[in-house]
Homo-oligomer: A and B are copies of this chain.
Amino acid sequence: MVTIKDVAKVAGVSIATVSRVIHDGGQVGEACRARVKKVIAELGYRPNSNARALVSKTTNTLGVVTPKISMPFFGSLASGVEKGARENNYKCLMSNSLYETKSELEAIESLRDHNCRSIILHSEYSDEKTLLKLAEEIPGLVLINRYIPAISNRCVWLDNQTGAKHATDYLLKRGHKKFAVITSIYQNGDPGFRLQGIREALKTANVPLPEAAIEESTANLEGGEQAVKALLAKGVKFTALLAYNDNMAIGAIHALFEAGLRVPEDVSVIGFDDLIVSRVCRPRLTTVHYPVEEMASYATKLAIELGEHPDASHHRTHLFIPHLVERDSVADAPGV
């Protein structure tokens, strides 16, 4: 391994000078700088980042903590983080929290051991108090997909409510009057906001949404199937179905299909997230696009900025607005 010493020796200068040319420090003679650069190239010298981190107490390494990176949504998130990191010459440590506050905290502590000053965290279940404490201790901590007013400048989040409103309005515009909703049993966070958006849009349009037409289940494919079966079993009539997310929507389509109902001819379905699967299912899913990769890149740049300049307390807001992606799972209401 070639060190700064080797370079200094070969170039016939001191290590301080080498360090200066590496950092483009001003005070170096042109001839000298050129010579050192040449030696660096010849020897293939690369600074040891651990040594750097040790003395400067900071790294060009940041961390991303998500529940499980193999899930497409979090894979996209991680990809966005990596992009933002790479563009700023940062490396990217990843950890799966597996939905446990304990391993989430462990991952974060471990990141701190590594002198990471910037962390992008997707935390669904940790309570605000914990998060606030963490945010206080780590200036470069940015939350993605969560909004905590007290640290609004550290939250990069999506306006779920508006997204759901858009979807509902679109269905309304296509003439639908009989709605059903399938959502998550956990109404904290996203599911609650999305449901609220739906309710608002419907209320504004004076279209009823009976409680019986709202079915809760697990937020995945199976949950979507079950929820629709339950709806059908209860005899709820609907021509428009709003699902909490794409996975539930696709499960719903399957259940509808099995029940002899056609999508979109008999029932129109809208999802939320715009995961890869929504382009792959049949009919292709009309859904609300969640710009997670873009948001993650943005969050990363923010985290880096905050990590490097903890005092630059700009009070911008970091709210993203989703938009509807029209595909093939929505049609005009029957008879329109």
A254 touches B277 (CB 8 A): no
The reply on A5 being an interface residue by CB < 8 A is no
Name the residue among A75, A277, A279 with the largest chain B CB count within 10 angstroms: A75
- CA A83 to CA B257, docked complex, whole Å: 38
B48 touches A115 (CB 8 A): yes
Name the residue among A48, A74, A76, A91 with the largest chain B CB count within 10 angstroms: A91
Name the residue among A61, A72, A280 with the largest chain B CB count within 10 angstroms: A280
* Contact (A61, B281) CB under 8 Å given A70-B293, A78-B69: no
B95 touches A82 (CB 8 A): yes
A282 touches B279 (CB 8 A): no
The reply on A250 being an interface residue by CB < 8 A is yes
* Contact (A96, B79) CB under 8 Å given A48-B115, A110-B91, A280-B250: yes
The reply on A276 being an interface residue by CB < 8 A is yes
Q: Which residues of B contact A54 (CB under 8 A)?
A: 48, 50-51, 54
B96 touches A93 (CB 8 A): no
Q: Which residues of B contact A82 (CB under 8 A)?
A: 69, 94-96
**Residue of B at shortest CB range from A221?**
B280
- CA A190 to CA B86, docked complex, whole Å: 29
Residues 268-286 of A contacting B (Cβ, < 8 Å): 276-277, 279-282
* Proximity string of chain A (197-212) to chain B, C-beta cutoff 8 Å, 1 when within and 0 when not: 0000000000000000
State which of B114, B221, B247 has its C-beta within 8 Å of the C-beta of A91: B114
**Residue of B at shortest CB range from A103?**
B86
Q: Which residues of B contact A48 (CB under 8 A)?
A: 54, 113, 115
**Residue of B at shortest CB range from A280?**
B277
State which of B110, B113, B280 has its C-beta within 8 Å of the C-beta of A281: B280
* Contact (A93, B95) CB under 8 Å given A61-B114, A113-B47: no
Q: Which residues of B contact A282 (CB under 8 A)?
A: 253-254, 257, 281-282
The reply on A173 being an interface residue by CB < 8 A is no
Q: Which residues of B contact A69 (CB under 8 A)?
A: 69, 75, 78-79, 82
- CA A74 to CA B75, docked complex, whole Å: 9
A276 touches B279 (CB 8 A): no
Instruction: Offer 5 A-B interface pairs, CB within 8 angstroms, sorted by A.
Output: A54-B54, A69-B79, A72-B75, A92-B95, A221-B279
4 more contacts with CB within 8 A, not counting A54-B54, A69-B78, are A49-B114, A69-B82, A82-B94, A280-B281
